[in-house]
Amino acid sequence: RKHIDNPYEINLMEELTLKGVTQYYAFVQERQKVHCLNTLFSKLQINQSIIFCNSTQRVELLAKKITELGYSCYYIHARMQQAHRNRVFHDFRNGLCRNLVCSDLFTRGIDIQAVNVVINFDFPKMAETYLHRIGRSGRFGHLGIAINLITYEDRFALHRIESELSTEIKPIPKVIDKSLYVAEFQEDSD
């Protein structure tokens, strides 16, 4: 910076937005989370999904569970080598697998059009983390749903995240309107 006179700074990073993402929560106990996720898999019309956990250990445990339940999934977390991580993400982006389990690796939000469902298997503590998981950059902004598995322990984080992001996470309805997240049901997709 000291070599440039009067630098003109521009921020090329597009801002993340929650616009277009319908956010729901399911109230669960820790021991109910896998059951809840299994039901979501069977009920939702998932094109591609990303499922977030709060630790690398839990990413591995959950990926194993999901496979046992009969769903295919990839997983990536911070303790994997970068080259391996890139390959898995590349394959997921190309649609080789429907579900991706991961920890917090995305600093710019997820920009995969095909992902129409994001599930916070573990609810994050910080608003910034929540935004990075759920938010979309304006350029790729499109409809989708986010489902948060909330335990009673998460109540303070829920309060903080809703107020810091000025957003509302609503209780999951009995039937989720497909036009909120399924491409062929969207009326005005441009």
* Torsions phi, psi for 137 (to 5 deg): -75, 150
Return the range that interacts with other proteins (CB under 8 A); candidates 8-16, 62-70, 86-94, 103-111.
Answer: 62-70
> Binding of other proteins at residue 27 (CB under 8 A)?
yes
Give CA separation, 177 vs 33, 51, 67, 118, 174, in Å. 23, 21, 28, 16, 10
Return the range that interacts with other proteins (CB under 8 A); candidates 9-17, 90-98, 131-139, 151-159.
Answer: 151-159
> Binding of other proteins at residue 86 (CB under 8 A)?
no
Query: Cα separation of 58 and 159, whole Å?
Result: 24
> Binding of other proteins at residue 79 (CB under 8 A)?
no
Query: Cα separation of 112 and 169, whole Å?
Result: 22
Identify which of residues 44 and 110 has a Cβ nearer to other proteins in the complex: 44
> Within 10 Å of residue 24's Cβ, how many Cβ atoms?
16
List of residues contacting other proteins (CB under 8 A):
25-28, 30-36, 38-40, 42-43, 57-58, 61-62, 64-65, 69, 150, 152, 155-156, 158-159, 162, 171-172, 174
